[in-house]
Amino acid sequence: MNGAVASIAAIIERELRSLRAQVEACSDERDLWLIAPGIANPPGVLAAHLVGNLQHFIGARLGGTGYVRDRDAEFARRDRSRGELVAAIDETRGVVRATLSALPEGELDLDYPDAIAGVRVTTGDLLIHLASHLAYHLGQIDYHRRLLAGGGPLRSVPIQELVTARPT
C-alpha cells in the first residue's frame, strides 16, 4: 500500500494507538467514566464511540465486515472495562489496516457508498474526515484524563510515523 490511502491509513492507525495509550494511562479504571461539570461524555464513552464509528464507516461499509453499529449504546453504556475497550481498539486497528490495505487508490475519488447527514462525499474526503474526527475526540480524552484523573501528556502523535517521514 502506498500513496494517499497509505498515508490516511497510517494516520488513523497512529491515532488508534494513541487512543489505546490514553485508555491505558488512566491509573484507575474508574477514571474512564469520570464526568467533568459541563461535559457529557467521559473518556470511555468517547473511546467506544470512536471504535463504533470506524468499525461502521471503514469496516462495515468499505470492508464488508458485517459490523452492525449501535450508536446509541456507544453513548449510553458506562460499564465497559479497560480490557474490553483496549480489545475493541486493537480489533478496530486490524479492521482499518485490512480494509484500507485492500482499497484501490482510485476509490478515493469515487463517492462513498452512502450519503451521510444528507450529503454525498468522496471516499477520500470521508476518510480524512474520519481521521480528523478521531483526532478531535482523542484530544478531548487527553485533556479529560489529565484534568480529572491526573497524569501528564503522552507523546501521542509523532510526526515520524507519517508514511513520508524520512531523516533530514
Given phi > 0 = left and psi -120 to 50 = alpha, else beta, which region is 25? alpha
What total of structural domains would you count in the chain?
1
Neighbours of 30 (CB within 10 A): 12
CATH code for the domain of 112 = 1.20.120.450
58 within domain boundaries: yes
- According to DSSP, residue 37 is labeled T
Q: What confidence score (pLDDT) does residue 18 get?
A: 95
Identity at 63, one-letter amino acid code = G
Cα–Cα distance measured from residue 107 to residue 117, given in angstroms and rounded to the nearest whole number:
21
164 within domain boundaries: no
141 within domain boundaries: yes
- Here the cell at position 94 is 486490524
Q: What confidence score (pLDDT) does residue 1 get?
A: 59
106 within domain boundaries: yes
Three-state DSSP class for 158? coil
Distances 11 to 4, 25, 57, 81, 151 between C-alpha atoms, Å:
11, 21, 16, 26, 25
Structural domain range at position 26: 3-156
Three-state DSSP class for 101? helix
161 within domain boundaries: no
Residue 103 pLDDT level (bands cut at 50, 70, 90): very high
Is pTM beyond 0.75? Reply is: yes
127 within domain boundaries: yes
163 within domain boundaries: no
23 within domain boundaries: yes
Would the pLDDT of 41 be above 80? yes
